[in-house]
Structure 1
Amino acid sequence: MGAFVVLLLPLLPWAARGAAVCGLCPGPVRNSSIVSRFCESRAGTESEGRCCRERGARPERLLGLDLSDCSLHSLPPELAEATAAIVLDLTGNPLTALPDGSFLGFTRLQRLAVPVALPCPGGSSAWVAVTTSGSSRLCQDQRNPCNSSGELAWPCPENAACAPDGPGLAQCLCHSPFHGYKCLREGAFPVLLFCGILGAVTLSLSLLLWGTQRRKAKTP
């Protein structure tokens, strides 16, 4: 049963999975947050907890997330639910670091406010503008590492194309029909075979665990 639930998790609608991050901090979006100013200037938005969403969109698209003054000592795992955010506020938190890859997948993020003691993720070269004001640092407008030279240049193997994957981050996507390590294999990926093997392994493990637990339950 547990394995079945795990397999269903990726199929849950985005709105259901994104609700947790909006309730990480009590109260609504703070008036002093860059998220509040952004959403007030954009038509067709609505607030839910510390989130600003696009009204009427299905699934509802998160545009802004205000996690300012939340007493965060580290980035919460729920942050991964907000990869569609355009604006994100992390100011007023005792954060000591932003680990590499913390903003993997945040390709739409254009305004990020962090405590002034922290650098912008990906470094200053990953952003068009970096400014400081009081106790906060504002990182604005991501640069595309695939269209850059020098420090931000992102090499991809032959038969692959570069695609942005967050501040200072990129991924290499294989051109069809290439796939596999460094896109060296040619031909269609065996989806049916892969899914069949994955399903068989999952079913076998589930039956094994079920049988083991049943024997333990019968043991006096």
Structure 2
Amino acid sequence: MKTGHVPLTHLLLVFILFLLIYRSSQQNEPQICKQCSGTLQNDSFVGQFCFSYAGRIEGRCCLGNETRGRQRITGVDLSNCNLTHVDNLQDASAALIIDLSSNANVNVSDSAFEGFRNLSYLILPADIACPGGNSSWDRVEIREGKHFCEGQRNMCNQPGKMSADCPEYSRCDPYGPGFFECNCADNYHGYKCLREGKFPVFQVFGSLGASTFVLSLLLWFTQRRKAKSL
């Protein structure tokens, strides 16, 4: 039986493989979970929620089941993080609970929670109003120096909202606290949902693809002729 040293090329390939695996795992980790130092505490609001829903703790997040190959963030605790502004939380747009309390000088953007359809519990510093106003929540109260916003209301169920802001042949869909969006009803599309019938996907994108191909071919032929004449 012969023995010998492992070839350097094999070691290099193994190193590159481990590096790729590590970078892939780092990219899959939600950045918002590492925005604050420390880990989610079991006795915190989000920690108790995570325990009751049998979630998995990663950094300052509670993770649920995977969705399309990515971990679904169900809870985020960014309390006591010395945050100065909050304007992008889209990594946690599927969250059910978010805690931003104990950040004395934080400024929360009005659009920070746009698209957060599932958000049911939001905890803010006492001087920060609930997004969308009190009418966007079932219960709003201040206690223990925190502003609690509980039970997000469906803005489409507000009296007169659908008829006033969504065009005919469209439906109103909730889009976060204080937000809604108008989507065309079935069998309608186009500007203000005025076109009846299904959107002609193949005709539109087929023509666009053919035009792009012809234009690219023409440019290639023109450049080739110029290159030959030089």
Q: Shorter-chain TM-score: which interval? A: 0.7 to 0.9
**Identical amino acids, percent of aligned pairs:** 40
Letter in 2 for 1:65: V
After superposition, where does 1:17-36 map in structure 2 within 5 Å? 19-36=30-47
Give the match for residue 50 of structure 1: 60
Q: Structure 1 residues 154, 146: closer, same or farther in 2, change over 3 A?
A: farther
Q: Indicate the larger mover: 18-27 or 149-158.
A: 149-158
2:106 equivalent to 1:67: no
Contact 1:91 1:115 in 2 (8 A): yes
| Residue 126 of structure 1, CA deviation | 0.2
TM-score of the two chains, using structure 1 as the length reference: 0.74
Conservation of the 8 A alpha-carbon contact between 1:93 and 1:115: yes
User: Which residue identity does 2:167 align to in structure 1?
Assistant: P
Number of residue pairs matched by the alignment: 190
Q: Deviations over 1:165-210 (max 9, x none)?
A: 0001111110122112211122332434348748949x97xx9xxx
Q: How does 1:191-206 map to 2 (within 5 A)?
A: 191-192=201-202, 193-194=204-205, 197=208, 200=212
Match of 1:177 among 177, 180, 187: 187
* Other-structure match for 2:112: 102
TM-score, length-normalised on structure 2? 0.71
- Give the match for residue 38 of structure 1: 49
Structure 1: 5+ residue stretches without partners: 1-12, 212-220
Q: Hey, what does 1:157 align to over in structure 2?
A: 167
Asked if 1:83 is matched to 2:122, the reply is: no
**Whole-angstrom distance in 1 between the partners of 2:188 and 2:163:** 23
Q: Which residue does 1:133 correspond to in 2?
A: 143
**How far apart, in 1, do the equivalents of 2:57 and 2:124 lie?**
22
Following superposition, the deviation at residue 102 of structure 1 comes to 1.4
In structure 2, what is the Cα distance between the partners aligned to 1:165 and 1:70?
A: 27
The range that moved more, 188-197 or 60-69, is 188-197
Task: For CA contacts below 8 A with separation 6 or more, give which structure has more relative contact order.
Answer: 1
- Determine helix, strand or coil for the equivalent of 1:22: helix
Tell me how far apart the structure 1 counterparts of residues 97 and 207 of structure 2 sit (CA, whole Å): 41
The CA distance in 1 between the partners of 2:108 and 2:164, in whole Å, is: 21
CA radius of gyration, larger in = 2
Q: Which amino acid aligns with 1:98?
A: V
- 1:150 Cα shift? 6.2
Q: Which residue of 2 aligns with 1:166?
A: 176
CA distance in structure 2 between the aligned counterparts of 1:187 and 1:150, rounded to whole angstroms: 27
| Structure 2 gap segments, 5+ residues each | 1-23, 224-230
Give the C-alpha shift of residue 98 in structure 1: 2.6
